[in-house]
Chain A
Amino acid sequence: MPDKPETAPEWPSDWLRTALTPCVLALLADGPTYGYALTVRLAEAGLGQVKGGTLYPLLGRLDATGLVATTWREGEGGPGRKYYALTDAGHEELARLRDGWGAFADVVTGVLVGTPTDLPPTLDQEHAR
């Protein structure tokens, strides 16, 4: 595993938008947790500072689609915390995304790094043959 950079990298926002849902589901698979703790763990994982304005609407969509269930619990001295727990449907979605993401990442890496033999021939190559 490569060393994590000292300062959080600024990933392109559209990459993050795509990757955030699978990552949040994966972190929730470790056990129920709340929004702020998720931002800390996402940052520790190297995804950078995910803002509350991005994370909570995403959690709300997961809740609305039944992938997570929520409960309010007492915080330590502060206000209450809303805990998010993965439902059965959430576990299924995570499994589906894990499989799909691996295949997708292989394809993208193949295109970017260039392993031509794995790729279907381009039209030019077809003609040359």
Chain B
Amino acid sequence: MSTSRRQSHDASLPAPADLAPHVDPAWADAFVLELRLRGVSGAAIGAALTEVDSHCAESGEPAVGAFGDPVAYARELGLPVEAHQRAGLVRALGPTALQLAGLLLTTWAALPWRRGESLELTAGHLASAVALAVAVTALVVGADPVLRFVVERTAAAVVVAAVWVGGTVALLVLLDDALLVVPAGPVLIVGALVLAAGVLVQLRQQSGEDPLADPLVSPAPTVVVPPAPAGRRAATFGATWMVPLTAVVLVGVSLLLG
């Protein structure tokens, strides 16, 4: 992964306020968020926002005075929705799904392996794997409504996520009848390989175009977009390494306690 490439990649992700210095940042954020949630392309959003900025700069009016409510204006524009957004989402979620599968396998197998026992696969194991698959599928199929729910009703979304995690753990604990006994060592190795594959695929994707980045682009010739802050790089790092680090910690704890 070349450093210069990453830098140009980060620099192409401007905040709304960079594109529209004459627009109230809160108005611009709400406007861009609504268009993002509707699946409008970054180029079309950038053009619409730059036109608002241009109008505000020349008329001296605040955005809310000239354009009214940002969400209503975003809807009124009727901008075309990107058709290939789902493909990008599958590409983006694929490596994370692999990593999560690796996380499950390694954490299941670590403790029995440490104790020299076999892994007793239970109905709870299968149920938690199914719960994970359902959640990932729901994210891909219902990406827009799910995202809108998380953004607009964050507290409710946190409750749903907590119930989902709690339910998965409860399934694991309650459904403890062994269905299948398998050697723990090979499962641990397979899990680690799946996890590594997920990380590799994600790193490969990042060295190319980020399928979800779809930066805001201003069509105006005079708008110079400054580079995005370093926080973006930290977020990318976190997205790649969060699941593997969690797996290392959980497996480490299992091995120490075992």
Contact = CB atoms under 8 A, between A and B. Distances in A.
Contact of B222 (A51, A80, A82): A80
Contacts, number: 81
Contacts of A34: 54
Interface residues of B, dominant DSSP: helix
Contacts of B47: 82
B54 A56 contact: no
A2 interface: no
A73 interface: yes
B218 to A, nearest CB: 8
Interface residues of B, number: 29
A80 B78 contact: no
Contacts of A64: 78
B76 A78 contact: no
A35 B54 contact: yes
Given A51-B68, A72-B219, A74-B222, A79 B54 contact: yes
Interface in A48-98: 51-53, 56-57, 60-61, 64, 72-75, 78-82
5 contacts: A52-B61, A72-B220, A79-B21, A81-B220, A82-B54
Given A78-B222, A82-B219, 4 more contacts: A56-B55, A56-B77, A74-B221, A79-B57
Interface of B: 21-22, 47-48, 50-55, 57-59, 61, 66-68, 72-73, 76-79, 218-223
